[in-house]
Structure 1
Amino acid sequence: MFKFVSLCFLSLVSSVGNAESSYFFDEKDGQFDLGYHLAENAYGFLPVPVLITEPAVGAGGGIVGLFLHETEAEKEARRQKALESIDGGAQLMPAAMTLVGAGGTANGTWFGIAGHRHSWLDDSIRYTVVGGAANANLDIYTRLGGLLPPDKAIQFDTTTEALFALQKIQFRVAETPLMLGLKQFWAESSVSSSNAVVDWILQQQLGDKTTTSGLGLIAEYDTRDNIFFPKKGYIFSAEYMVFDESIGSDHNYQTLEASGEVYLPLSNHWTLAFAGGYDQLYAGDIQLSPTTKPYVELRGVSAFKYQGDQVATVQSQLMYHLNHRWTLSAFYGYGVTDSDAIEENSDSVDSYGVGFRYQIARRYGIHMGMDFATSGDENAVYFTLGSGF
């Protein structure tokens, strides 16, 4: 249970071996904590170990570094609030954050990613940019347009190589929790298969490389008390993207994504949370990459196993806070797909599991831990930063 805490500790000792013992312990409660390291070390970052047991890609791992950038005045304000209260400081939004990471799995899947988010004018303007490269070896499932029953779906392997980048800018509406903005996405990818017939079909449909380019509108309404591990409040977001040849895309289609999370404090020790999502693909072209369609994204369910033109998920999670450091949780999720096919073509799946979190940086309210999930004959373990939704 304490494995991830040990990993974080060991990854930092080499860089600050001469630091005092109090460097890694909170000055208010004396517990192991990386808040001081994040705030006071010029190169301080939170190492997030990535243990990958995603059924779709197999076992693997990696490391992600989260850097929080604050001015000296912001650091001091956060420190004072953290000294005044156990929960103090966590509600202050970092003006800038950077994330860098890489990882891989046993089946040859790998990724490298970097991202940065910056805000100005007391978070009235927010800019996010993300870029990276990936090689994903995924199994895709098809029911041939609804001709086959769910338990007879045909499975074939694919290898997707991609370079990608996205950026978005958001503007706060007056002094409300509502932010509106624009998003741009670009990717260059190639898809192949070890199955000669499938590979020939993919080459005929997609060619050697595919460029995906899209522009869209985004909206977000956020009242959560903490972006890393909320205990009250809610967030609702939606985006509508247009991918079109006029902006450099090889294919024409549109996507709609909407999601929400609600956190309800039942008492000092209990929090009940709900989450939901809806994705829809409006395909102008029928010759799209097999990974373009949305899929059911739940803990314990293989990525891309349940795909459709429309996908909806609902989740619930009950959290018991043993104290301000440790939290235990139990969760349940349900997903359903629907496709525009020859016959009625819908699938559904549910998953459930348990998990735990440790508050690794009290000044920022950052929690890390593990989730153990299952969905029928599939099981998975996840290292998680945040609530798990």
Structure 2
Amino acid sequence: MFNKNQPLLLATLTSLIAPFSLASSFVDPEDGKFDMGHYIAENAHGFLPVPIIITEPAVGYGGGLVGLFLHESEEEKQARKQAALMSVDGGARLVPAAMTVVGAAGTQNGSWFAFAGHRHSWFKDAIRYTGGAGLGQVNLDVYREFSDVPLVGDLSFEIGTENKGIAALQHLQFRVARTPLMLGIKQIWMKTDVTLDTGNDTANKVLEKIGDTGLIPGLGETTNSALGLTAEYDTRDNIFYPTTGYILSGDYMFYDRQLGGDYDYQVFNFDGEGYIPLAQKWNLAFAGNYQQFETDDLLVPLTSKPYVDMRGVPSFRYQGDKIQTVQSQVTYDIDNRWNVSAFYGYGEALNDSSEDQSVQAYGAGFRYKIARRYGLRMGVDLAISEGEVTTYINVGTGF
């Protein structure tokens, strides 16, 4: 699973290729342990190479590289450096108000992507803009289950899809007064070319012919275009590895033919995370997600519906008209560097016209604080779901 905070942490890992003569920069003067925070602060470069590590079971293991360009004046660079050097434990800013990323990655099953993006904020993050575009190919298996099919009974089957395309996104947010609340507007545009792979050449050709007739939605070249509203309320004490506070975020996206797309549907998405200190060394965290898909179209593309997203569960394995997930995690700090955690998640995919599905996932992991000033932690999670064990290299809490 590709964690949303992973690029910011993995940027620090590239510092390991520094000359051996800089080894002292990787020792924290506070406790004498390995730490990259001092080196990052002392070397506030305008460019950072960022490795990508992908451990998503739906596409297999993979990786790539991102170039992170930090746009700041020399004065801003020095101010950021001093703020990082003075930070005791978390709170230091790793990136400035403006940055650009360019990168590419690939995975075991032949999936690949390349992208470029830019983020800019103004007036002490009162206004924030994020925009980007990318292209690539994603090979995914999607699943369909039906109950009480005449002459058959319960029916379950797996469909291999090959999705080639390009996509673009824009997101503009405005902070409400000086509160943690940000409201925004988001635009998404995608053009894809989808083919099905059954593992049999003859069957593939038949499906391709059926797709040309339009009887199977989303096959061939299609366009999706959406416009929507967003809201975010964030009180976490640290964006990389919070121990207290919460974040609530939601968006309602309208995919519409009048916006240039080929289908009409709407997707509502709500995410929440909360962190509660239980004792000096114990912390309890919760996360939840609710998604609702609505359309008047009889048929929609296979990958348009939302899916259960949890550690241990492959993406798009459980799709539905409504998605509900709850997760919990308890963490114990062994010392100021190492901690261990145990987690559990339950998800449901509810469907209006087919069988509802549910899935559970659980596991354990550990984290090491590799950059004290920035509150950056990295580690490994082992997640189990339906007898399958998946390994994740994770940044942050794992949610």
Matched with 1:169 is 172
Give 1:210's match in structure 2, choosing from 199, 215, 222. Answer: 222
Task: Name the Cα RMSD after superposition.
Answer: 2.8
TM-score normalised by structure 2 residue count: 0.85
Matched with 1:143 is 145
SS at match of 2:247: strand
Does 2:397 match 1:387? yes
Counterpart residue identity of residue 279, structure 2: S
Q: Distance in 1 between matches of 2:325 and 2:365?
A: 20
Matched with 2:83 is 78
Does 2:342 match 1:337? no
Matched with 2:357 is 347
Q: Distance in 2 between matches of 1:130 and 1:145?
A: 41
SS at match of 1:56: coil
**In the TM superposition, what whole-angstrom CA distance separates every residue of 1:345-380 from its partner, at most 9, and x where no partner exists?**
210000001111122222221212111101013221
Query: Following TM superposition, by how much is the alpha carbon of 1:164 offset from its aligned partner in structure 2, in angstroms?
Result: 1.2
Contact 1:91 1:226 in 2 (8 A): no
Q: Distance in 2 between matches of 1:46 and 1:230?
A: 25
Counterpart residue identity of residue 278, structure 1: Y
Query: Following TM superposition, by how much is the alpha carbon of 1:13 offset from its aligned partner in structure 2, in angstroms?
Result: 4.8
Matched with 2:157 is 154
SS at match of 1:22: helix
SS at match of 1:363: helix
Contact 1:141 1:155 in 2 (8 A): yes
Contact 1:34 1:46 in 2 (8 A): no
SS at match of 2:240: coil
Matched with 1:301 is 313
Matched with 2:374 is 364
- Structure 1, unpaired ranges of 5+: 1-6
Query: Following TM superposition, by how much is the alpha carbon of 1:314 offset from its aligned partner in structure 2, in angstroms?
Result: 0.4
Give 2:130's match in structure 1, choosing from 116, 128, 131. Answer: 128
Query: Following TM superposition, by how much is the alpha carbon of 1:60 offset from its aligned partner in structure 2, in angstroms?
Result: 3.0
Percent identity between matched residues is 48
Give 1:315's match in structure 2, choosing from 327, 342, 353. Answer: 327
Query: Following TM superposition, by how much is the alpha carbon of 1:144 offset from its aligned partner in structure 2, in angstroms?
Result: 4.2
Query: Following TM superposition, by how much is the alpha carbon of 1:176 offset from its aligned partner in structure 2, in angstroms?
Result: 1.0
Matched with 1:22 is 24
Query: Following TM superposition, by how much is the alpha carbon of 1:151 offset from its aligned partner in structure 2, in angstroms?
Result: 7.6
Contact 1:318 1:331 in 2 (8 A): yes
- Structure 2, unpaired ranges of 5+: 1-9, 199-203
Contact 1:150 1:347 in 2 (8 A): no
Q: Distance in 1 between matches of 2:44 and 2:81?
A: 14
Q: Distance in 2 between matches of 1:30 and 1:123?
A: 35
Contact 2:195 2:208 in 1 (8 A): yes
Does 2:64 match 1:62? yes
**In the TM superposition, what whole-angstrom CA distance separates every residue of 1:160-217 from its partner, at most 9, and x where no partner exists?**
1121121111111111111101001111111101232444444423353111111100
**In the TM superposition, what whole-angstrom CA distance separates every residue of 1:226-261 from its partner, at most 9, and x where no partner exists?**
111111100001100111121111111111000100
Give 1:89's match in structure 2, choosing from 88, 91, 104. Answer: 91
Counterpart residue identity of residue 77, structure 2: E
Give 1:228's match in structure 2, choosing from 215, 240, 243. Answer: 240
Deviates more, 1:286-295 or 1:111-120: 111-120
**In the TM superposition, what whole-angstrom CA distance separates every residue of 1:306-356 from its partner, at most 9, and x where no partner exists?**
110111100001111222322211111100011120x5x210000001111
Q: Distance in 1 between matches of 2:12 and 2:229?
A: 41
TM-score normalised by structure 1 residue count: 0.87
Counterpart residue identity of residue 187, structure 1: M
**In the TM superposition, what whole-angstrom CA distance separates every residue of 1:93-121 from its partner, at most 9, and x where no partner exists?**
85345554432222211223343332221
Contact 1:55 1:379 in 2 (8 A): no
Counterpart residue identity of residue 234, structure 1: Y
SS at match of 1:159: strand
Q: Distance in 2 between matches of 1:264 and 1:47?
A: 31
